[in-house]
Chain A
Amino acid sequence: GESVGLHLPTLSVQEGDNSIINCAYSNSASDYFIWYKQESGKGPQFIIDIRSNMDKRQGQRVTVLLNKTVKHLSLQIAATQPGDSAVYFCAEIKTGANNLFFGTGTRLTVIP
């Protein structure tokens, strides 16, 4: 399943399928990006980050892709599990700044 972030705030996928969550960022000067996962009743949890000198970074079951040309960021989750159900936020920051700018998030629901 795939979302377009701000334009489709919910995404439902079958357990075991791959998920793709998309994010369009606004500031071309942003050079550091983070994906957070927020479960109900909890604070955002760091998943993975990427700097602008990279276009791909992999973690455990997650991959982040960065396309600076079109200012697009995506989070891919392999073999989605029920525990992956949460709201996912992308955040951007410009070097030297302290402000993280967050998107409004995409709610991922995993169907057993």
Chain B
Amino acid sequence: DVKVTQSSRYLVKRTGEKVFLECVQDMDHENMFWYRQDPGLGLRLIYFSYDVKMKEKGDIPEGYSVSREKKERFSLILESASTNQTSMYLCASSWAGGANQPQHFGDGTRLSIL
């Protein structure tokens, strides 16, 4: 089974802090993704990466950056946390494949910015 592990289940930070969310997958997947999930808005894509050191903006990249130094690890960075970034953050990974492949998710990090 695919295992996507997010380093923290719950995290509380203060406004203005730099926040790092870490994600590791054990299936040698090429693609990795960061989403945020908010009530009534569903899942929205922040950034994704299709290879080491590669990144692409998703639908809502403002206020975030990412890092992919190793294939198995994808980090989401909140450069200067704000209260509107309080949310559930979900990491996912998938094969690149010839055709579309399903994304497999971690259990999420619930981040609160005070």
Contact = CB atoms under 8 A, between A and B. Distances in A.
B25 interface: no
A34 interface: yes
Nearest to A95: B100
A105 to B, nearest CB: 6
A100 B107 contact: no
Interface stretch (B12-20, B43-51, B73-81): B43-51
Contact of A100 (B40, B45, B50): B45
Interface string A3-31: 00000000000000000000000000001
Contacts of B48: 98-99
The A interface, classified by DSSP as helix, strand, loop or mixed, is: loop
Contacts of B103: 34, 46, 100
B37 to A, nearest CB: 9
Measured as residues with beta carbon below 8 angstroms from the partner, the interface class of chain A is 20 to 34
B61 interface: no
Interface in B94-108: 99-100, 102-108
21 contacts: A32-B100, A34-B102, A42-B107, A43-B90, A43-B106, A44-B90, A44-B105, A46-B102, A46-B103, A46-B104, A51-B100, A89-B42, A89-B43, A93-B100, A98-B31, A99-B45, A99-B48, A99-B59, A100-B43, A104-B41, A105-B42
Interface of B: 4, 31, 33, 40-43, 45, 48, 50, 56, 58-59, 90, 92, 99-100, 102-108
Interface of A: 31-32, 34, 36, 41-46, 49, 51, 89, 93, 95, 98-100, 102-105
